[in-house]
Amino acid sequence: MSDIVLEARQINKSFHDPVTTRVLSDITFSVNRGEFVSITGKSGCGKSTLLYILSTMDTDYEGELLIDQMSMRNKKEADLALVRNQKIGFVFQFHYLLNEFSVLRNVMLPGLKLKKYSEEEVEHRAMQKLKMLGIEHLARKKANLVSGGEKQRIAIARALINDPLIIMGDEPTGNLDKKNSDIVFNIFQQLTEEFRQTMLIVTHDQSFADRTERIIEMQDGRIISQ
């Protein structure tokens, strides 16, 4: 089964402030189900910008983006939010947990928003994800009271809660030490191997990229190899 979950067709993007600068040119590639893909490149090559477009948060681009074979063009803001909620899991460089909530609640939030399961079920699933990542003991803690490595793992659990089509990571290990980077990488690897979870990770960490199945390398807003 190698159906395409995400496809970019000739994506162009320019910043217009203060002068028009093209940051992405003719980005065309696709990601198949179960693939573990990394996007690498030097700082400023446009890889993060590309990820924001792929994640539907940035809608100011030219070209075509298909997620799950559906075009993201001309979709309303609320519909895009639903797509993000349902089909995309995010892991950022800076964990971005909601400090007002407990760890468990953080993981549950996207699930509660989706309303596919009842609150009890969402909680049960959240606990399962935490257990899978070996951090179930943190469930009742406040999100701002756990360590950086743990936060990133919580963020991964949150990304998994709605069984997303694809997990997108924006330098997920950029802010972590070697040990925690390895833990996070191993989790990603485990997810692709055991659950055929599709991954699209932006990173400038070459050793991280080297261990993924497929590397898309970018330079000056273009894909130079994939």
CA distances from 156 to 7, 13, 18, 27 (A): 23, 29, 36, 27
According to the binding rule CB under 8 A, does residue 129 interact with another protein?
no
10 Å CB burial of residue 3 (0-12, 13-18, 19+) is: exposed
Quick one: which segment of 37-45, 61-69, 97-105, 201-209 binds another protein (CB under 8 A)? 97-105
* Binder among 78, 120, 178, 194 for another protein (CB under 8 A): 78
Q: How far is the CB of 55 from another protein (least distance, A)?
A: 7
What is the x/- site pattern for another protein, positions 56-75, by CB under 8 A? -xx-----------------
Which is it for the CA torsion 84, 94, 9, 76, positive or negative?
A: positive
Site for another protein in 187-226 (CB under 8 A): none
Segment lying near another protein (by CB under 8 A), choices 14-22, 30-38, 108-116, 214-222:
108-116
Distance CA 153, CA 108 (A): 14
Residue 5 or 95: the one with the smaller Cβ distance to another protein is 95
The answer to whether the CB of 135 falls within 8 A of the CB of 153 is yes
Residue 38 phi/psi, 5° resolution? -120, 145
Three-class DSSP category at 83:
helix
97 near another protein (CB under 8 A) = yes
Among 63, 96, 116, 117, binds another protein (CB under 8 A): 96
CB of 193 to another protein, least distance (A): 25
**Three-state DSSP state, 13:** strand
Look up residue 49 and give its two tokens: 């910008």
Contacts from 66-70 at CB under 8 Å and sequence distance 24+?
Answer: 66/4, 66/6, 66/7, 66/8, 66/9, 67/5, 67/6, 67/165, 67/166, 68/5, 68/6, 68/165, 69/4, 69/7
Region of 47-55, 63-71, 178-186, 195-203 interacting with another protein (CB under 8 A): 47-55
Kindly tell me which residue out of 71, 99, 186, 226 binds another protein, with binding defined by CB under 8 A: 99
Among 25, 30, 32, 86, binds another protein (CB under 8 A): 86
Q: How far is the CB of 225 from another protein (least distance, A)?
A: 25
Neighbours of 98 (CB within 10 A): 12
Where does this chain bind another protein (CB under 8 A)?
Answer: 48, 52, 55, 57-58, 77-78, 80-82, 84-86, 90, 92-94, 96-101, 105, 109-110, 112-114, 158, 170
